[in-house]
A and B are shown apart, each in its own frame.
Chain A
Amino acid sequence: MSVDLPTRIDELSTASEECAYEKVGFHQRHTIDASVLIDLARAFFEAGYVLEMITCQDLRAETQKMLLVYSFNRLESVDRQLLHLAIDPDTEQAPTLSMIYSGANWFEREVYDMYGVRFSDHPELERILLPEDADFFALRKDFGRMDEASAGGDEAEEGDDD
């Protein structure tokens, strides 16, 4: 390990924010670009952090982007760091972390399954929870909202045009 982690994060991230752990449950939040994700993940890996989860927020209504959220944590003493990476699901792909953190493989498949965000160089980017022939991305905000159900209720099963 040549450079320590905080320095490396400062170098790579676009913006960083200290957060009150007692209130929100994580220590720092960093906004990054897709180009530095792999370098930063490698820095976390070398500093002994685990990748707890990858998830996504559908912010297309406000920013036309999907916001990928990565959560890293240290097992010895808690230090939870969130990474935010905004991506346009129609034109861009996020780099995969499955070469560094093997667990990222399934997390990324789940994000693809639920939000339709693609990951470049992913070894097996296919549906994980939904059936293989599903033609929708279930957790997108424009799909299957409860309040948009027809008056009939029970029969309103058809998916969106996603």
Chain B
Amino acid sequence: MGKVDRKDGVVRLPLVNPANTPVRDPLGDEAMVDPAVVRLAVLDDLLNLGRANSLWPLTFGLACCAIEMMAAGASKYDMDRFGAGVFRPSARQADVMILAGTISKKMSPVIRQLWDQMPSPKWAIAMGGCTIDGGPFKYPNQYAIEEGADKIVPVDIYIPGCPPRPEALIAGILQLKEKVKAGRRFEG
């Protein structure tokens, strides 16, 4: 049994967090923590560990970055090594949305619908310049694209590049794993 830290109400297993660095709740709402949650925290940590190591991304390519996403899943880079190679064709089975490519105004309602279809807990990775702020297609009076994925879904990880190399996507996945392990996520 790990040491119970009453301050943030999370039970720490040495395996999970050897440095025992304090991890804050992303919502910063300490009033949420009550004894019942503290008792469940071990299970939560285990669940988060499981979630972090079996991320199921949605098979969903928008443009150029999708090819690098495929390359990251294929033989040379092999995202399966990090448990994130099980691309699901249906939003109902996925828990990570990798937004790979330019988001056009025509596409943005579709993306929102897909996001709403994904079961919680879920995370979003904005891959490439277009999903960060419009990237190379951003210019004053641009009529066609949505300048940034965060206008549509809450984004957890941003990966810069045009397109980012597969290594960069893998680095992003690893970052997301840390975030998932610590139990941080946006609700809804």
Q: A: which residues have CB within 8 A of B? A: 130-131, 136, 138, 143-146, 148-150, 153-154, 156-157, 159
Q: B: which residues have CB within 8 A of A? A: 105-106, 139-144, 147
Contact B147 A154 (CB under 8 A): yes
Contact partners of A145 in chain B: CB under 8 A: 141
**Distance from A147 Cβ to chain B, minimum over Cβ atoms (Å):** 8
If over half of B's interface residues share one DSSP class (helix, strand or loop), that class is named, otherwise mixed; here it is loop
Q: Of all chain A residues, which has the CB nearest B105?
A: A131
Q: What are 8 residue pairs bridging A and B, where the CB atoms are less than 8 Å apart in the complex? A: A136-B143, A138-B144, A144-B142, A145-B141, A146-B141, A153-B140, A156-B140, A157-B142
The 6 A-B pairs with the shortest beta carbon distances in the complex, nearest first, are A149-B140, A144-B141, A131-B106, A153-B140, A149-B141, A144-B143
**Distance from A136 Cβ to chain B, minimum over Cβ atoms (Å):** 7
Interface hub of B141, B142, B143 (most chain A Cβ within 10 A)? B141
Contact B141 A157 (CB under 8 A): yes
Contact partners of A138 in chain B: CB under 8 A: 143-144
Choose one: A130, A150, A156; the contact of B106 (CB below 8 Å): A130
Contact partners of B105 in chain A: CB under 8 A: 131
Q: Of all chain A residues, which has the CB nearest B106?
A: A131
Contact partners of B140 in chain A: CB under 8 A: 146, 149-150, 153-154, 156
Contact partners of A159 in chain B: CB under 8 A: 143
Complex CA distance for A150 and B147, rounded to whole angstroms? 17
Contact partners of A131 in chain B: CB under 8 A: 105-106
Contact B141 A156 (CB under 8 A): yes
Contact partners of A149 in chain B: CB under 8 A: 140-141
Complex CA distance for A150 and B140, rounded to whole angstroms? 8
Contact partners of B142 in chain A: CB under 8 A: 144, 157
Besides A153-B140, A157-B141, 5 more A-B contacts (Cβ < 8 Å) are: A131-B106, A136-B143, A148-B141, A149-B141, A156-B141
